[in-house]
C-alpha cells in the first residue's frame, strides 16, 4: 500500500512524490518552495511566476491560494524556521512595481492587458532556468561588463528612452494628465528600490563571490594538472636514473626551465618572436647534448617575412651546437638583444677554445653555417676565440620593424 507522499508510477520503478509545503525556505505559505521542489526549478523562478500572474486579474493569488489549500504541509520537528523577510520585501516590491506600471500605462484595465507581459516574463524565466549555470554566468557577466565599458552610451540610451516617452505623451496630449501618475510611480519605485536594495546587493555579492571561487577552482585545477603531467613525471624519471648525475642534472634543469616558462612567460607561439625562438632552440640543444645553456633576452621583435631573422636563428643554433659538442664547457651563455631595428645574439662558452685560422677548409660549421649564412641574408657574424680562452660568436642583423 502506498503511503501518503508517494504513489507507484505505472511502467516504472521510480515513485511519484506528492507535492508538500515545506517549512524550510518558505516566505509565505511554502507553496512556491514546494512547487519548485516538485518541478525541479529554482524557487526564485517560481516566486517570480506567481508575482507576474498576480498582475493579471489576480490569477497568481488565486493559484497560490488553491495550492495552499490542496498541498499538505510537510512535517517539521522543532521550531519553525524564520522567514527571509528581505526576499519577501523584494518580491513584494517587484509586484507593486508591475502593478504601478500597468496602472500608469492603462494595461491593467481588465487585467488582460498585462497578459503579454506576464507570459513573456514567465517564458524568460523558464529560459533562464533551463540554461546551464555556465551560460547564465556568461549572460550576467557579459551584461555587467557591457554596462561598465559603455556607461556613457547606457546613460544616453536611458535618457533617449525617457525623452521619447515624454514626447509621445506630449504629442498625444496626455503629458499633463500623466504627470501625477508619473510622480506617484517614481516615488513608489524609489521606495521599493530602497526596500529591495539590501537583497539585490546581497545577490550581487553572492554572484561575485561565486565567480571568484570558480576562478580559484580553475586555477587550482590548472596547477594540479601541471604538477601531475610535468613535475611528477620528471621526479619519476629522476628516480630511475639516480645513478647518472649528468642525466639527473639535465632532467632537473629541463623541469626548472619548463616551470619558469609556465609561471613567468606569456603563452605564445614558439616561433612568433626572436626571444621565444631563442629560448626554444636553447632548450632543444640543452636536452640534446646535456649541457646547461643559460638564456637572457632583452627586448623582442616578431620574426620577419623575408626570413632574415629565421636565418639568424639557424646560425645561433649552429653556434650552440658547436659549443656544446666541442668546447667541453660545463655551461653556455646566450644573450639576445633587440635595440631599434638591430638584433644581436651572443653565444659564449668558457671552454678550451681554438685557433680559427687552423680550422680545415672542409669544416663548414663556422665558415658556412654561421658566417656564410649571416652574410647571405645581409647580416654579420664575428667569432672571437683563443686556445684556453673559450669562444664567443656575435651575430648581428638589421631588420625593419613590422
Task: Look at 20 and 281; give whichever has higher pLDDT.
Answer: 281
Mean pLDDT of 343-359: 87
Instruction: Give the pLDDT score at 393.
Output: 93
Q: Is 44 a member of any domain?
A: no
**Contact yes or no for 370/318 (Cβ under 8 A):** yes
Q: Evaluate whether residue 377 is within a structural domain.
A: yes
Q: Kind of pairing, strands 390-398 and 380-386?
A: antiparallel
77 compared with 155, residue with greater pLDDT: 77
165-169, 268-272, 351-355, 381-385 — most confident range: 381-385
User: Are the C-beta atoms of residues 354 and 342 closer than 8 Å to each other?
Assistant: no
Instruction: Tell me whether residue 252 is in a domain.
Output: no
The residues, any chain, with a CB within 8 Å of residue 122's CB and separated by 6 or more, are: 49, 52, 53
The rounded distance, in Å, linking the Cα atoms of 257 and 251 is 10
Higher pLDDT, 215 or 19: 215
Task: Identify the helix (H) or strand (E) that includes residue 1.
Answer: none
Q: Does a structural domain hold residue 169? A: no
In a domain, 30, yes or no: no
251 located within any domain: no
What's the pLDDT band for 8 if we cut at 50, 70, 90? very low
**Which pLDDT score, from 0 to 100, does residue 241 have?**
80
Give the residue-averaged pLDDT of 304-309. 86
Beta bridge partners of 337: 298, 344
Residue 9 in domain: no
Q: What is the pTM of this model?
A: 0.45
Residue 343 has pLDDT above 90, yes or no: yes
Buried/exposed 168-198: b ≥16 CB within 10 Å, e otherwise:
ebeeeeeeeebeeeeeebeebeeebeeebee
pLDDT at 369 over 70: yes
Kindly indicate the confidence band of residue 396, based on its pLDDT and cuts at 50, 70 and 90. Answer: very high
Give a yes or no: residue 198 inside a domain: no
pLDDT category at 332 given cuts 50, 70, 90 is: very high
What's the confidence (pLDDT) of residue 3? 43
Do 294 and 332 contact (CB within 8 A), yes or no?
Answer: yes
Q: How many domains does the chain have?
A: 1
- Share the mean pLDDT of the chain: 74
Higher pLDDT, 102 or 20: 20
* Range with top average pLDDT, 122-131, 248-257, 375-384: 375-384
Residue 231 has pLDDT above 60, yes or no: yes
Between helices 175-226 and 85-105, what is the axis angle to 10°? 140
Q: Which domain holds residue 365?
A: 270-398
Residue 341 has pLDDT above 80, yes or no: yes
Q: What confidence tens digit (pLDDT) does each residue in 32-83 have? A: 888 888 777 778 777 877 777 777 666 777 777 777 777 787 777 767 677 6
Tell me the CATH number at 321.
Answer: 3.30.565.10
Neighbour count for residue 368 (Cβ, 10 Å): 13
Amino acid at each position: 500500500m502506498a503511503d501518503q507522499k508517494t504513489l507507484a508510477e505505472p511502467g516504472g520503478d521510480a515513485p511519484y512524490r506528492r507535492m508538500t509545503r515545506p517549512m524550510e525556505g518558505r516566505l509565505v505559505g511554502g507553496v512556491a518552495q514546494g512547487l519548485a521542489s516538485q518541478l525541479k526549478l529554482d524557487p526564485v523562478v517560481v516566486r517570480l511566476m506567481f508575482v507576474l500572474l498576480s498582475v493579471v486579474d489576480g490569477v497568481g493569488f488565486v493559484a497560490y491560494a488553491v495550492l495552499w489549500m490542496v498541498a499538505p504541509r510537510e512535517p517539521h520537528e522543532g521550531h519553525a524556521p524564520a522567514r527571509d523577510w528581505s526576499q519577501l520585501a523584494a518580491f513584494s516590491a517587484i509586484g507593486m512595481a508591475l502593478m504601478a506600471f500597468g496602472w500608469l500605462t492603462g494595461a491593467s484595465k481588465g487585467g488582460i492587458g498585462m497578459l503579454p507581459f506576464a507570459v513573456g516574463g514567465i517564458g524568460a524565466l523558464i529560459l533562464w532556468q533551463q540554461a546551464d549555470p555556465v551560460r547564465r554566468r556568461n549572460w550576467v557577466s557579459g551584461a555587467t561588463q557591457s554596462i561598465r565599458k559603455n556607461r556613457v552610451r547606457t546613460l544616453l540610451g536611458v535618457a533617449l528612452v525617457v525623452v521619447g516617452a515624454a514626447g509621445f505623451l506630449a504629442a498625444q496630449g496626455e503629458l499633463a494628465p500623466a504627470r501625477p501618475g508619473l510622480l506617484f510611480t517614481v516615488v513608489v519605485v524609489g521606495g521599493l528600490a530602497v526596500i529591495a536594495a539590501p537583497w539585490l546587493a546581497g545577490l550581487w555579492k553572492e554572484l561575485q563571490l561565486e565567480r571568484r571561487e570558480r576562478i580559484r577552482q580553475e586555477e587550482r585545477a590548472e596547477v594540479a594538472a601541471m604538477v601531475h603531467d610535468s613535475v611528477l613525471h620528471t621526479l619519476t624519471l629522476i628516480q630511475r636514473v639516480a645513478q647518472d648525475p649528468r642525466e639527473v642534472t639535465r632532467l632537473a634543469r629541463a623541469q626548472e626551465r619548463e616551470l619558469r616558462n609556465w609561471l613567468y612567460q606569456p603563452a605564445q607561439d614558439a616561433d612568433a618572436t626572436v626571444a621565444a625562438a631563442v629560448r626554444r632552440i636553447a632548450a632543444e640543444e640543452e636536452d640534446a647534448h646535456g649541457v646547461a645553456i643559460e638564456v637572457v633576452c632583452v627586448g623582442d621583435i616578431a620574426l620577419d617575412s623575408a626570413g632574415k631573422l629565421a636565418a639568424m636563428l639557424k646560425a645561433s643554433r649552429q653556434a650552440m651546437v658547436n659549443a656544446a659538442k666541442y668546447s667541453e664547457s660545463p655551461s653556455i651563455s646566450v644573450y639576445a638583444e633587440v635595440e631599434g631595428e638591430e638584433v644581436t645574439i651572443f653565444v659564449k662558452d668558457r671552454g678550451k677554445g681554438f685557433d680559427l685560422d687552423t680550422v680545415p677548409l672542409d669544416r663548414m660549421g663556422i665558415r658556412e653555417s654561421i658566417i656564410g649564412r649571416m652574410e647571405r641574408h645581409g647580416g654579420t657574424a664575428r667569432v672571437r676565440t683563443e686556445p684556453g680562452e673559450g669562444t664567443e660568436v656575435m651575430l648581428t642583423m638589421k631588420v625593419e620593424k613590422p
